[in-house]
Amino acid sequence: MISLKQIKYALAVGRTLHFRRAADECNISQSALSTALQDMEQQLGFAVFERDNKKVLITPLGQEVLDKAGNIQVQIEDIMRLGQTHGKVLGGPLSMGMIPTIAPYLLPSLLPGLSQQYPDLQLSVAEQQSHVLVDKVRRGELDCAVLALPYNCEGLLTFNFWKENFYWVGHRDMAPSRQPVMHADELADHQLMLLSEGHCLKDHALAACKMDSQATHSLSATSLTTLIQLVIGKMGSTLVPEIALEQLVDIHPCLVKLPLDEPGPHRELAFIIRPNYPNTKNIEALISIASKQLTNTMKIDKPAC
């Protein structure tokens, strides 16, 4: 009979494609891991991994095994969490992911409220791009994640808790005078800079403006902070979500912000979980605190969504 430990070891090798790193991840010796997996392969009657001195390959049948093993591991972890379902809300460990265009602006308002109301919560937060977080939630490596929608979260449940629009941000010396809003068809005149490929904020900004990626300026960056520094240096302009204005824009007198005059909301923040995640009360509590803290801390008038 294949054991849960063997499943754990196989999945670790499947992730790392390296027996030593997988053994370190599982806190066992490499020889013990290799022996356990060889025993598993003997029970299966076929090889899961191809081994040589340089690399580890997954066989076609082995990939099917790992896919099923991943589902089993998620189910087991959910079973282990069932004991927490009837206990205190947010009274134990919770792993949460958050994308980089949300984490720096939501966490400072979210964490104090969580610490005050739920002192027994053991929270761990991972900051990654959307596709990484979706994959980790599906595999059970994260309990939940906070993304910006629209985004493909097929097979997962989404719980929206905040709507917001984008603002055009430019240097005061280069901004249009006495203009209350910025229209999408005017952006090309202001050397628009957006985040690099792979950031969903770029896709949301392009969708809001009905533009394609070829219409943007050649300068791009991997963080909103870098984009703002480029704007301060008069290299162009950018689009910033409402949640980030206070930290990124309002502190710089040389910057001007104008609402993007396109139908909104331009993006929605949401928690995502697996359909069989047992602690939905935890998510409900997180949503309540997050929406309340955002409402209390935003210093600009909330646009109608």
Is 255 in contact with 169 (CB distance < 8 Å)? yes
pLDDT tens by residue, 274-294: 998 888 889 999 999 999 888
- Angle made by CA atoms 49, 12, 99, in degrees to the nearest 5: 130
Domain 89-163+267-297 bears CATH identifier 3.40.190.10: yes
Q: What is the mean pLDDT of the chain?
A: 88
Helical ranges in 219-260 per DSSP H: 224-232, 245-248
Backbone angles phi, psi at 239, to 5 degrees: -115, 135
* Position with higher pLDDT, 236 vs 91: 236
Nearest Cα residue to 247 out of 47, 50, 101: 101
CATH number for region 166-259: 3.40.190.10
Residue ranges of domains in the chain:
4-84, 89-163+267-297, 166-259
* Position with higher pLDDT, 79 vs 185: 185
pLDDT at 174: 87
3-state helix, strand, coil in the chain (%, to 5): 45, 20, 30
Mean per-residue pLDDT for 219-229? Answer: 86
Q: May I ask the CATH class of domain 4-84?
A: mainly alpha
Same fold, 4-84 and 89-163+267-297: no
> Is the bond preceding residue 265 a cis peptide, omega within 30 degrees?
yes
pLDDT at 219: 67
pLDDT tens by residue, 14-37: 999 999 999 999 999 999 999 999
pLDDT tens by residue, 123-152: 999 999 999 999 999 988 899 999 999 999
